[in-house]
Amino acid sequence: MAKFFVKSGDIEGDLAYIRGNDAHHMMNVLRMKTGDSVELGLLGKSCEAEIVSFAGDSVCLKIVRDLPDNESDIRFHLLLGISKGEKMDWVIEKATELGVWSIIPVMLARCVVQLDGKSAGKKRERWQRIAEAAAKQCRRSHIPEILQPCKLNKAVLTLPENTEIIALWENENEAAYKTALRNTQSKDIALVIGAEGGIEVAEIELLRKNGAVTAGLGSRILRAETAAITALALASYELADLGGVK
């Protein structure tokens, strides 16, 4: 079944409405008909629904039954140093597939890309579309929220209360990442990843003042995008459902 997400304002009892581009895609690309079944993501859960009617640019569906939840009990938040080119697009797509809950694009001191208010808003909208498309593709119940790009001190303050922070730092040679993961107690875990230039010592100190621990991924220096996906995959395997057990 194709997957679509429904906004909370587009639900009326056991009826749901899909509008705009998704409705156009259903009618004119997939050429769906009344009675066809789709999977809906709504209010953080997944449901099966049948198409009831088409009206203009809107599709009306009747919710038939709930589907099993495929989200982990652990919520991973990625504080991601902004990379140049299409690297950010790729990381956001793959992180969504791996189950990330939210992503905060961070303008670190060594980031080549520094965004102002207008360009930051446009980038965030683009990255949110990428996350939604990836969530549909892997049939998640939740679309990761891509927050407004910001500086590190503000990013830390946006995290949920009691979030445990692990900063992956290329200069950390003593504390292993696997140990840091196994010592976590919270349901909210933030992973901090630098951009191409890494993370400055002053930024590491800021993170430590906010309760973060630093950890290394091994003896080799990984590219920023490789480190982000490696860290998230290992965390999901160690603490969540990547290995097949929720």
| Segments of the chain assigned to CATH 2.40.240.20 | 3-66
Spatial neighbors of 52 by CB under 8 A, at least 6 apart, are 15, 34, 60, 61, 62
Answer yes or no: is pLDDT of 85 > 90: no
| Residue pair 67/59 in contact by the 8 Å Cβ criterion | no
Answer yes or no: is pLDDT of 198 > 80: yes
Q: What whole-number distance in Å separates Cα of residue 27 and Cα of residue 39?
A: 16
Give the helix ranges, DSSP H, for the chain.
20-24, 87-97, 117-137, 152-157, 177-182, 201-209, 224-239
Model pLDDT for residues 57-66, shown as the tens digit of each residue: 899 999 999 9
Q: Which fold has domain 75-239?
A: Alpha/beta knot (3.40.1280)
In this prediction, what percent of the chain has a pLDDT beyond 70? 99
**Two structure tokens written together for 152:** 């590190």
Rg (CA), the chain: 20
Model pLDDT, residue 245: 57
Tell which residue, 85, 88, 118, has the closest CA to residue 104: 88
Give the dihedral sign, CA 54/57/63/69.
Answer: positive
Q: What whole-number distance in Å separates Cα of residue 181 and Cα of residue 43?
A: 29
Tell which residue, 157, 82, 158, has the closest CA to residue 126: 82
| Dihedral class, residue 139 (left if φ above 0, else alpha if ψ from -120 to 50, else beta) | left
Model pLDDT for residues 158-185, shown as the tens digit of each residue: 999 999 999 999 888 888 999 999 999 9
Spatial neighbors of 129 by CB under 8 A, at least 6 apart, are none
Model pLDDT, residue 108: 92
> How many residues belong to the chain?
246
Higher-pLDDT residue of 189 and 44 is 189
Model pLDDT for residues 5-29, shown as the tens digit of each residue: 998 889 999 999 999 889 999 998 9
Model pLDDT, residue 246: 53
Q: Please state, in angstroms and as integers, the Cα–Cα distance from residue 56 to each residue in 19, 23, 91, 153, 200, following that order.
A: 9, 9, 36, 46, 54
Higher-pLDDT residue of 244 and 204 is 204
Model pLDDT, residue 181: 95
Model pLDDT for residues 134-144, shown as the tens digit of each residue: 999 998 999 99
How does residue 56 score in pLDDT terms, banded at 50, 70 and 90?
Answer: confident
Going by the DSSP 8-state scheme, the letter that residue 104 receives in this structure is E
Answer yes or no: is pLDDT of 75 > 80: yes
The CATH code for residues 3-66 is 2.40.240.20
| Segments of the chain assigned to CATH 3.40.1280.10 | 75-239
How does residue 117 score in pLDDT terms, banded at 50, 70 and 90?
Answer: confident
pTM: 0.88
